[in-house]
Amino acid sequence: MSKYQALKEKVLKANKDLVKAGLVILTWGNASEIDRENGVVAIKPSGVAYDNMSADDIVITDLDGAIVEGTLNPSSDLMSHLALYKAFPEIGGVVHTHSTYATAAAQAGKNIPCYGTTHADTFYGDIPVTRALSKQEVESDYELNSGLVIVEHFNKTGIEATACPCALIRNHGPFTWGKDCFKAVENSIVLEEVAKMAALTLRFNKDAETAPQYLQDKHYYRKHGKNAYYGQKESK
């Protein structure tokens, strides 16, 4: 049995959870998780149907993208995932989808403002959209540059990767991340719902205002941070 069997089983489930959540059709998405202790990443194989996928199909690579274990090609988005893992050492899982509303926002080139508490419970501030990739960036090293444009935006704007664990690549689609692949999937689910709610909010009122900052702060910090009190305390 593979030394990475547990990791592969976990990443397999995360990928299939994306389908169950309605975030992925055909093969339009991928989930991965990093094992920082061993310096490897487990990721979905490229173009393989989810229904037929097994743990043996999950590909293990090193942090430069070389295959460590597996007979299939890794997801074509592997280098995007690796760029995020290298830039944000606090994250453990990454997800990319083409979910409808989040992708529509990316195609529109628009941030998703925080109109209410559903958004603020998970994401602090606007969900950002990156700049468009240049012709040279697309033609030279497209997947790597897709990850780097997210990193560039977060570094430029000072957004913390843990406070807003998602981004929209302009003209492409959403990436989310979290402490592991399951949390990254959860953040993808929330992102799609928040994007849908934002679109519907503007249909009701094209001049809708964002939620007051004090309300956003209340909802975010009651679930996150040292004084969080939402939910139950973890048993020791």
Which residues have a catalytic role annotated?
A: 121, 230
Question: Does 45 reside within a domain?
Answer: yes
The number of distinct structural domains making up the chain is 1
What residue has token string 């999950």? 58
**pTM more than 0.85:** yes
Dihedral sign from CA coordinates of 175, 179, 185, 189: negative
DSSP 5-23: HHHHHHHHHHHHHHHHTT-
Q: Which residues of the chain have pLDDT under 50?
A: none
Question: Does 233 reside within a domain?
Answer: no
Question: Does 229 reside within a domain?
Answer: no
Question: Does 228 reside within a domain?
Answer: no
Q: How far is CA 77 from CA 31, 41, 128, 133, 147, in A?
A: 10, 13, 20, 15, 9
What pLDDT, on the 0 to 100 scale, is given for residue 236? 53
List the CATH number of the domain containing 151: 3.40.225.10
Question: Does 74 reside within a domain?
Answer: yes
Question: Does 234 reside within a domain?
Answer: no
What pLDDT, on the 0 to 100 scale, is given for residue 235? 61
What pLDDT, on the 0 to 100 scale, is given for residue 1? 73
Question: Does 22 reside within a domain?
Answer: yes
Question: Does 68 reside within a domain?
Answer: yes
Q: Which residues, listed in sequence order, are joined to residue 33 by a DSSP beta bridge?
A: 42, 93
What pLDDT, on the 0 to 100 scale, is given for residue 233? 74
Backbone angles phi, psi at 2, to 5 degrees: -60, 140
Residue-number span of the structural domain to which 103 is assigned? 5-221
